[in-house]
Structure 1
Amino acid sequence: MKNNKSVFLILGVIMLLNACLVNGAYISSGKFPEGIMTVALAIMSFCMAYLSEHFAAKDERAQKIRERGVFVSYFWMLGFIIILMAIVNPYVGPLQLSGYHSLLLIASLYISVVFLNMVYYAKKY
């Protein structure tokens, strides 16, 4: 499993550098960062590098980490969606986002939150 950890770390570094390059160009031109999904994938890779040794054994601890991480992420996402609906309200909201950008933001947040919750519960259990 040590080999998987190094692969995930290398992929995470490559995606993080790619995310910084792409999102930096969008932000410097004053546009919405279209490459925000690469940030989420970099977070996922780093989390999987940590979790690979925990998930190597197919025991009930690994199953509990997965179940609890996804279960709690559901409630985090409900909160994120409620906050986004308040902020991106087309009538009184301060932000104007297209549907594509809203879905991109929600998907990126969901990927990040699921894996960060799994890391939290791997440390807790």
Structure 2
Amino acid sequence: MAGFLLIAAIMNNSAPLPDTYIIPSMSIMAFCLSYLYPQFAQKDERMQLIRQKSMFFSFVAFLFYSFTLNSLLEFNIIHLTASDAITLITALMISTLFTSWVFLARRY
């Protein structure tokens, strides 16, 4: 679906719809949760550690995303509306949180 919306935007020579960013992040979330379900079904200390470290990494990533997006907007490198910027940051945060869960689950 996201590929179709992206191709349609390219063919129209316009920016993609904000929903185009959310759809791939939701698919990443679904795949990560399906991979992690057997491990997350157990409520043990390991999973609490993974969740805590993942939230810290996501917070650091949010600061980086916010700084980068703010810099790009301030120097007029990109032009986004407020809803587009919020949608973009939301999609990045969803992807970051769930992929960090997978990486941390494989590490610990």
> Quick check: TM above 0.5?
yes
Match of 2:11 among 28, 33, 43: 28
- Asked if 1:100 corresponds to 2:93, the answer is no
Match of 1:122 among 101, 105, 108: 105
- Asked if 1:83 corresponds to 2:68, the answer is yes
2:43 aligned partner = 58
- Deviation of 1:62 (Å): 1.2
Total equivalences in the alignment: 106
- Deviation of 1:63 (Å): 1.3
- Uncovered stretches (5+) of structure 1, i.e. residues with no partner: 1-17
1:8 aligned partner = none
Quick one: higher RCO (CA 8 Å, sep 6+), 1 or 2? Answer: 2
Tell me the TM-score normalized by structure 2. 0.90
Identity %: 31
Distance 1:60 1:37 in 2: 31
Q: Please, what is the CA RMSD of the aligned residues?
A: 1.2
- Uncovered stretches (5+) of structure 2, i.e. residues with no partner: none
